[in-house]
Amino acid sequence: MDLDNKKTGSVGIVEAQRAHFDTPLELRSGAVVPAFDLVYETYGTLNAAKSNAILVCHALSGHHHVAGLYAGQPKSLGWWDNIVGPGRPLDTDRFFIVGVNNLGGCHGSSGPCSLNPISGQLWGADFPMVTVPDWVKAQARLADHFGIDSWAVVIGGSLGGMQALQWSIDLPQRVRHALVIAAAPKLTAQNIAFNDVARQAILTDPDFHGGHFYQHHTAPRRGLRLARMLGHITYLSDDQMGEKFGRVMRNDSGDYNFGYEVEFEIESYLRAQGDKFAGFFDANTYLLMTKALDYFDPAQAYDDDLAAALKPAQAGFLVVSFTTDWRFAPSRSREIVNALLKNDQNVSYAEVTSNYGHDSFLLAIPHYHAILSAYLERIRL
Amino acid sequence: MNWQLDRPDFEVIAGWVQPGERVLDLGCGDGALLKLLIETRGVRGYGVDIDDANVLAAIANGINVIQSNLDAGLAGFVDGAFDHVVLSRTLQTIRHTQDILDAMLRVGREAVVSFPNFGYWKNRAAVLSGRMPVSEDLPYQWFDTPNVRFFTMLDFEALCADMNILVRERQVLDEQGQLVTEEHNFLGSLAVYRITRG
**Which residue of B44, B56, B81 is in closest CB contact with A374?**
B56
- Among A91, A134, A282, A325, the active-site one is A325
Distance from CA of B50 to the nearest CA of A (A): 9
User: A351 and B60 in contact by Cβ < 8 A?
Assistant: no
Name the amino acid, one letter, at B101.
Answer: L
Query: Is residue A380 within 8 angstroms of chain B, CB to CB?
Result: no
In this structure, which topology does domain B3-197 adopt according to CATH?
Answer: Rossmann fold (3.40.50)
Task: Give the relative orientation of helices A159-170 and A283-295 as an angle to the nearest 10 degrees.
Answer: 50
**Which residue of B58, B63, B66 is in closest CB contact with A337?**
B66
**Average pLDDT estimate for A55-78:** 97
CA-closest candidate to residue A221, choices A266, A271, A274, A270: A274
CB distance B5 to B78 below 8 Å? no
Query: Is residue B122 within 8 angstroms of chain A, CB to CB?
Result: no
**Domain locations in chain B?**
3-197
Residues 6 or more apart whose Cβ sits within 8 Å of residue B116 = B89, B92, B135, B137, B138, B147, B189, B190
Rg (CA), chain A: 20
Q: What is the mean pLDDT of chain A?
A: 95
Give tens-digit pLDDT for A317-362: 999 999 999 999 999 999 999 999 999 999 999 999 999 999 999 9
State residue A253's pLDDT score.
Answer: 81
Query: Is residue B58 within 8 angstroms of chain A, CB to CB?
Result: yes
| Euclidean distance between CA atoms B184 and B117, whole angstroms | 9
**Average pLDDT estimate for A4-14:** 72
| B136 pLDDT higher than 90 | no
Restricting to B residues 60-99, those with a Cβ less than 8 Å away from any Cβ of A are 60, 62-68, 75-78, 81
State residue A366's pLDDT score.
Answer: 98
**Which residue of A338, A346, A348 is in closest CB contact with B76?**
A338
User: Structure pTM?
Assistant: 0.95
- Considering only residues B137 and B49, tell me which one the structure prediction assigns the higher pLDDT: B49
Confidence of residue B7 (pLDDT cuts 50, 70, 90): confident
Main-chain dihedrals φ then ψ at residue A250, nearest 5 degrees? -65, -35
Maximum pairwise Cα distance, chain B: 48
- How far lies A288's CA from each of A148, A203, A230, in Å? 28, 12, 17
| A255 pLDDT higher than 90 | no
User: B76 and A337 in contact by Cβ < 8 A?
Assistant: yes
| A7 pLDDT higher than 60 | no
Query: Is residue A66 within 8 angstroms of chain B, CB to CB?
Result: no
Confidence of residue B6 (pLDDT cuts 50, 70, 90): low
**Average pLDDT estimate for A273-289:** 97
> ipTM of the assembly?
0.94
Residues 6 or more apart whose Cβ sits within 8 Å of residue B139 = B2
State residue B87's pLDDT score.
Answer: 96
DSSP letters of B121-163? Answer: HHHHHHHHTTS----SSS-S-TTT--------HHHHHHHHHHT
Give tens-digit pLDDT for A153-183: 999 999 999 999 999 999 999 999 999 999 9
| Dihedral class, residue B86 (left if φ above 0, else alpha if ψ from -120 to 50, else beta) | beta
Confidence of residue B1 (pLDDT cuts 50, 70, 90): very low
Give tens-digit pLDDT for A20-41: 999 999 999 999 999 999 999 9
Quick check: is A321 catalytic? no
